[in-house]
């Protein structure tokens, strides 16, 4: 739900910015930008801390295999590297990355 609210807030901000830049309906444009930015910031904070963090901890505690799959790991380990961009390769049992994108 927070993701939908964040998306809506950014769309509202974009419409308000369009109104301001086009010079039409500037009163509405100011209201849209102000409301969209405030709502976007509020829901972004809510997305990170109470909801997203709790879900991540729950998956790590209750479903470690699911977490490993979400991270593109084929074997569980405690010191798993951060993989920013990769493609899982089932035959080799590892995630392959482009030469520009290596494990961090």
* 70-100 pLDDT, tens digit each: 777 777 777 777 777 777 777 887 777 654 5
Alpha-carbon dihedral of residues 55, 57, 61, 63, nearest 10 degrees? 40
- Cα distance between residue 14 and residue 49, in whole Å: 26
Q: Minimal CA–CA distance to 69: which of 48, 53, 52, 90?
A: 90
DSSP 93: T
Q: What is the value of pTM for the model shown?
A: 0.55
Q: What is the mean pLDDT of residues 16-39?
A: 96
**Residues whose CB is less than 8 angstroms from the CB of residue 32 and which lie 6 or more positions away in sequence, other chains included:** 12, 13, 15, 16, 19
pLDDT tens digits for range 47-66:
877 777 777 788 889 988 88
């Amino acid at each position: 739900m927070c993701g939908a609210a964040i998306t809506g807030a950014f769309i509202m901000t974009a419409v308000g910015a369009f109104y301001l830049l086009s010079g039409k309906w500037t009163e509405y444009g100011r209201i849209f930008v102000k409301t969209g930015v405030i709502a976007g910031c509020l829901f972004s904070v809510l997305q990170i801390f109470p909801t997203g963090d709790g879900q991540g901890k729950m998956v790590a505690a209750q479903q470690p295999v699911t977490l490993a799959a979400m991270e593109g790991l084929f074997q569980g380990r405690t010191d798993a590297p951060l993989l920013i961009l990769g493609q899982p390769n089932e035959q080799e049992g590892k995630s392959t990355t482009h030469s520009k994108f290596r494990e961090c």
